[in-house]
Chains A and B, each alone.
Chain A
Amino acid sequence: MDRWLRVLGRGAQFLGDVGRGLKEPDTWGSLTAVQMRRIGVQSLPIALFIAVFTGIVLALLSSYSFTGAVPLYFVGTFVGKAMMLELAPVLVGLALAGRVGANIAAELGTMRVTEQVDALETLAFNPIAYLVVPRVIAATLMFPIVVALAMAVGIVAGWFTSINLLDLSTPDFVKGIRLFYQFKDIWFGLLKSMSFGFAIALIGCYRGLGTQGGAEGVGRETTGAVVLSAEMILVLDAFWAVALL
């Protein structure tokens, strides 16, 4: 219990430091665009790869489950709802917890053990404003964009599968999608993905900057960052479902 309180306290202190770092836009402003490219644009291939195959499987899985008892155009409903509400944000989030979270933790951890973070401080930079804030802002802003594209690509993959492998026409698939569609389906998924991006970047930075003990420490903190990010995604996923659905 005591240990958890200490962890929570350090986490809250780190969050406060990030808040104070926001007051230094001269430091983080120009660095954020670079991080948006690294975190967002360079994550697109893996995100879209996941989306394509998830869309295919969703279409086939729903058709198999309906077994003729449910009209087939509900395949469109199932693909659309599942991609927007859950699978695009969570699967992409988990993949990016590995790609982005590990990258951030390893990079900052290496900088810590090679004294590059200390060097930044001696050059009168605030490492939080220089290293953490750009990454957290970039991840928070870019995750929803990546996930939005993943949603679209996943649905297109589901449509393509439906018209080629199932006995379903394009108008029926679109009819299924529109049947129970609400705008909330989209913003709910994007809000979740925004929180995932924030959490992944924050955890990666926190674990990376807390690295001690050379290469072994970098490995330990990187693994820890990925595991904790994945857990946090699932916790946040449940939180948003309880809070908003």
Chain B
Amino acid sequence: MIAFREVFKRFGSKEVLRGFSLEVQDGETMIIIGTSGSGKSVALKHVVGLLAPDQGQVEVDGQIVHMLERDDLMALRSQIGFVFQFAALFDSMSVRDNLTLGLKRQGLDRRTMDERVREALAVVDLEGVEDKFPAELSGGMRKRVGLARAIALRPKYLLYDEPTTGLDPVTSAVINRLMVRTREKFGVTGIVVTHDMTSAYAVGDRIAMLYRGQVRQVGTVEHIQRTHDPIVRQFIEGRPEGAETTDTPSSEVYG
């Protein structure tokens, strides 16, 4: 289980997370939605220790991430796959090398690594691109390679940072299908940060809305679709005017 407990995080004078609390149960896919700059990616980076909270804690399987010794943190990271917003593939490496880098860290032999690479690329429907370099791939292909790199590690948890941002609707649908397939095939627990509601409804078991540094509402997809919360409604309907422009800060959490 992944648990955010009263997490506060500030960058300079900007307080991004203000007591963010959320629990993600094993086997579920949690979607975190929220406006740009609301701190979704910041929250996600706390899970793998890329950021440390100013206050509060993030727990993964009961381990407090920011308190872990370096070796324990590395061990934890080897159980977590992270799919970055722009894939973050290593430019100087081929697709194969991008995928095997993390596998080398796990001490696997050459044959097992090759099998993992083939399998991961098959899951994302990208067989035969092993020797290409990131610059030779389209945006959608890069995202799929980024996903393949994460699932090649056979992680227990998969974290997706804006997986469909910048993609056309068809490619977004492909990515959504791959995320569902990955969960079904490997049974991973997922957290998906997105503001793409089509993706959220297609992939998620539960949805949490991050608003002004806190969870505004969390519930199942159906629950969120039927919500009467004006802030959440405005967001999921994509209306430019509404409660969000007039609402005062609220610490109340629904759902």
A interface residues (Cβ-Cβ under 8 A, vs B): 110-111, 114-116, 118-119, 121-126
Residues in B whose Cβ lies below 8 Å from that of A119 = 82, 84, 88-90
State how many angstroms separate the Cβ of B117 from the closest Cβ of chain A: 14
Q: Does B111 contact A (CB under 8 A)?
A: no
CA of A63 to CA of B86 in the docked complex: distance in angstroms? 61
Is B105 an interface position by the 8 A CB rule? Answer: yes
B192 to A: closest C-beta gap in Å = 16
- B88: A residues at CB distance < 8 A: 114-116, 118-119
Q: What 4 new A-B contacts, CB under 8 Å, besides A115-B86, A118-B45?
A: A111-B90, A119-B82, A121-B50, A125-B101
- Segment of B72-80, B173-181, B201-209 engaged in the interface with chain A: B72-80
- Which size bracket describes the interface of B in this complex? 20 to 34
Contacts of B49 in A (CB 8 A): 121
The closest CB in chain B to the CB of A116 belongs to B88
The answer to whether B48 touches A116 (Cβ under 8 A) is no
CA gap between A123 and B83 in the complex, in Å: 11
* Given the contacts A116-B90, A116-B91, A118-B50, A124 and B102 also touching, CB distance less than 8 Å: yes
* Interface pair B84/A124, CB less than 8 Å apart: no
Q: Are B82 and A122 in contact (CB under 8 A)?
A: yes
Total A-B contacts with CB atoms under 8 angstroms apart: 48
Task: Tell yes or no: B171 within 8 A of A by CB.
Answer: no
Q: A122-B48, A124-B77, A124-B78 are in contact. Are A115 and B105 (CB under 8 A)?
A: no
Q: Give B62-101 as 1s and 0s: 1 = Cβ < 8 Å from A's Cβ atoms.
A: 0000000010001101101110111011110000000001
Residues on the B chain within 8 Å of A118, using CB: 45, 50, 82, 84, 88
Q: Hey, which chain A residues are within 8 Å of B89, CB to CB?
A: 116, 119
Chain B: minimal CB distance from A105 (Å)? 16
Q: Are A123 and B84 in contact (CB under 8 A)?
A: no
CB atoms of B101 and A115 under 8 A apart: no
**Residues in A neighbouring B105, C-beta threshold 8 A:** 123-125
User: A188 to B245, alpha carbons, bound, how many Å?
Assistant: 68
B70 cross-chain contacts in A, Cβ below 8 A: 126
State A65–B101 Cα separation when bound (angstroms): 60
5 closest Cβ pairs, A-B complex: A123-B102, A115-B88, A119-B88, A122-B82, A124-B74
Query: Please, how many angstroms separate the alpha-carbon atoms of A94 and B45 in the complex?
Result: 39
Q: Which residue of B lies closest to A27 (CB)?
A: B105
A116: B residues at CB distance < 8 A = 88-91
Q: Which of B50, B78, B84, B88 has the most CB of A within 10 A?
A: B88
**Residues in chain A near residue B102, CB distance under 8 A:** 123-124
Taking a contact as CB atoms under 8 Å apart, the answer to whether B48 and A115 are in contact is no
The verdict on A121 contacting B84 (CB below 8 Å), with A116-B90, A116-B91 known, is no
B71 nearest CB neighbor, chain A only: A124
Q: Complex formed: what's the CA distance from A126 to B80 in Å?
A: 16
- When chains A and B are docked, how far (Å) is the Cα of A85 from the Cα of B43? 55
